[in-house]
Amino acid sequence: MTVRIVVGTQWGDEGKGKITDLLAAQTDIVVRYQGGNNAGHTVIVGQEVFKLHLIPSGILFPDTVCVIGNGVVIDPQVLLEEMDMLRGRGIKVTPDNLKISSAAHIILAQHKARDLQQEADRADGQKIGTTGRGIGPTYVAKIDRSGVRMEMFLRRDIPAELAAFQAKLTPYIIDSVQYLNEALAQHKNILLEGAQGTMLDVDHGTYPFVTSSNPTAGGACTGSGLGPTKIDEVWGVVKAYSTRVGEGPFPTELFDKDGEYLRAAGAEFGTTTGRARRCGWFDALVVKHAARVNGLTDLVITKLDVLDKLPALKICTAYDIDGRTVGDLPTDLELFTRAKPVYTELSGWQKDTTQCRSFSELPSEALKYIAKLQELVGVKITLVSTGPDRAQAIRRDI
């Protein structure tokens, strides 16, 4: 029995969906614990591409139960559309394998309108670049105790705005905290799937250029109702380089041909909004920070193959802030905004890694790159992904 959290260590889009799907085969229950349909998790199986926003990335396995936890905010229409999309593609989605927490909050039309209006009202330089899905205002309503929860669907009289969804959603709504804790008592394997990433965490990210929830490991406990003592492993997913979508500081961002190369080779366009992702070199300070605030036990490197053709690779090992060399991420955004990356350079491998299935098959320069990341972050690398498909993964223990 293992309870494992899968968390993003950068600014989201690290490949959490792919890794969750990969692990879901050996998992009884996959739980989403925060965020909403601001998330876009891509799972590729052969020729099939699945873009998931709310439903956990374990849904492709009919015997794996997926739970949308109490920490998630749900747009009922989006959820129903996603359920229909999956069913239309032959994926099982029934109350047996999808369960929705009665305590998850509902995104209302007013929240979406407010999200768009607030973003429009923000002056240049202060815009966050939200996904416009109503996420922030829904969490505001939750925290100020005026929100509406999924349990509303179980009542006789509900707001007119929600009435149309009631019959379709009611069969899926359960007390997920009770369900998950009972599953734990039955020694089930549980995977808690994060959305967004550590640097978008409202407490530990680049505030105020963040999302309105806690993607970090603590949020997995709050957002699922599984206590901290029940968690066995925390796996941090990290891209072999960095990306960010939306506004906010990003010290290793590239504005040159290398940045363009990463965007093209990595297909770095948002799953949810289609926006081009900003691209840059690997930032070890960011991932070290993620290792701390999540208590990472394992690291998963994704998209190593995107670096295959580059002759030289840079890793940020420190920042220069106003002439001082700094080895840890500053929490003060003013300082972080002025941080200039200090790089160490490694040679590229310029070989195809997409067919590699064991560490010994990887080019020696790729192994050196991975070893350097492990040394800098201080967490063991358990899995390396060299392509979007399920088969393109290298486990340390194989």
Q: Which residues are catalytic?
A: 13, 41
H-run or E-run covering 100: strand 98-101
**Quick check: 271 binds Mg ion (CB under 5 A)?**
yes
Provide the angle, in degrees to the nearest 10, between the axes of the packed helices 76-88 and 160-169. 30
Chosen residue from 5, 15, 28, 147 binding ligand GDP by CB under 6 A: 15
- Quote the CA–CA distance of 208 and 295 in Å, as a whole number: 23
C-alpha angle with apex 213: 134 to 56, nearest 5 degrees? 80
Nearest approach in angstroms of CB 136 to ligand IMO is 5
* Nearest CA among 25, 31, 90 for reference residue 55: 31
Residue 191 Cβ, how far from ligand IMO at the closest point, in Å?
15
Cα–Cα distances (Å) from 275 to 42, 67, 71, 212, 347, in that order, read 15, 29, 26, 20, 31
Report the residue number, 290 or 321, with the smaller CB distance to ligand IMO: 290
Q: What is the DSSP letter of 160?
A: H
Question: Is residue 236 near ligand GDP by the rule CB under 6 A?
Answer: no
Per-residue contact flags (x/-) with ligand IMO for residues 342 to 371, judged by CB under 6 A: ------------------------------
Query: Strand 98-101 and strand 173-174: pairing?
Result: parallel
Locus of tokens 């070989």: 351
The length of the chain, given as a count of residues: 398
Q: Are 373 and 282 in contact (CB under 8 A)?
A: yes
> Which of the listed partners (Mg ion, ligand IMO, ligand GDP, none) does 128 bind, with a CB threshold of 5 to 8 Å by partner kind?
ligand IMO
Binding mask 328-367 for ligand GDP (x = CB under 6 A): ----------------------------------------
Q: What's at 215, amino acid-wise?
A: P
Query: Does 40 sit near Mg ion (CB under 5 A)?
Result: yes
Site for ligand GDP in 246-275 (CB under 6 A): 271
Tell me whether residue 225 or residue 246 sits nearer to Mg ion (CB atom).
246
Residues 281, 314 contacting (CB under 8 angstroms): yes
How many angstroms separate the CA atoms of 331 and 61, rounded? 40
59 touches 66 (CB < 8 A): yes
Question: Under rule CB under 6 A, which residues in 128-147 are in contact with ligand IMO?
Answer: 128-131, 133, 135-136
Asked if 329 and 285 touch (Cβ cutoff 8 Å), the reply is yes
Query: Is residue 13 near Mg ion by the rule CB under 5 A?
Result: yes
Residue from 9, 27, 42, 102 touching ligand GDP (CB under 6 A): that is 42
Q: Any contact of residue 55 with ligand GDP (CB under 6 A)?
A: no
Partners of 325 in beta bridges: 320
Which span (7-15, 78-86, 149-157, 342-350) binds ligand GDP, by CB under 6 A?
7-15
Q: How many residues bind ligand IMO (CB under 6 A)?
A: 24
Of 16-24, 210-218, 249-257, 371-379, the segment contacting ligand GDP by CB under 6 A is 16-24
Residue 245 makes contact with ligand IMO by CB under 6 A = yes
**Nearer to ligand IMO among residue 18 and residue 314 (C-beta):** 18
Closest to ligand IMO by CB, 236 vs 353, is 236
Indicate which single residue of 7, 22, 33, 41 sits in contact with ligand GDP (rule: CB under 6 A): 41
Q: Which stretch binds Mg ion (CB under 5 A): 13-21, 52-60, 170-178, 330-338?
A: 13-21
Smaller CB separation from Mg ion, 248 or 341: 248
Question: In Å, how far from its chain's centre is CA 202?
Answer: 14
Map tokens 């050996």 to a residue.
Answer: 26
If one counts every other C-beta atom within 10 angstroms of the C-beta of residue 276, the result is 12
Residues of span 210-229 touching ligand IMO by CB under 6 A = 211-212
Q: Are the CB atoms for 122 and 208 separated by under 8 Å? A: no
Two tokens, residue 278 = 């900003």
Closest by CA position to 302, among listed 266, 338, 276, 335 = 266
At its nearest, how many Å lie between ligand GDP and the CB of residue 322?
34
In angstroms, rounded to a whole number, what is the distance separating the alpha carbons of residues 360 and 26? 25
Residue 270: CB minimum distance to ligand GDP, A? 7
Is residue 20 a contact point for ligand IMO (CB under 6 A)? no
Q: Residue numbers of the site for ligand IMO (CB under 6 A)?
A: 8, 11-13, 38-41, 128-131, 133, 135-136, 195-197, 200, 211-212, 245-246, 271
Q: Residue numbers of the site for ligand GDP (CB under 6 A)?
A: 8, 12-18, 40-42, 44, 271, 302-303, 305-306, 385-388
